[in-house]
Copies of this chain bind each other. A is one copy, B any other.
């Protein structure tokens, strides 16, 4: 059984992926914006990394959504 933290990270990752795809952005686009490897974006989207608050805020900026909007849609 997944613990609460894993469930939250998976929800965050899914929300990032959902918005990214809706905006026709690639993981490469997001990785470039954060100056990180694509594999890190892949792991974040799978909820495998408890990444930093700065990374999350930069991802939200790269997705061009407001922070309030992102967290409002996130049912956690």
Interface residues of A (CB under 8 A from B): 5, 8-9, 12, 50-57, 67-68, 70-72, 74, 76
Residues of B within 8 A of A5 (CB): 54
CB distance from A71 to the nearest CB of B (A): 4
Main secondary structure on A side of the interface with B: helix
CB distance from A68 to the nearest CB of B (A): 4
Known: A8-B54, A68-B68, A71-B71. 19 other contacts (CB 8 A): A9-B53, A9-B54, A12-B53, A50-B52, A50-B53, A50-B54, A51-B52, A52-B52, A52-B53, A53-B53, A53-B55, A53-B56, A57-B76, A67-B71, A67-B72, A67-B74, A67-B76, A68-B71, A70-B71
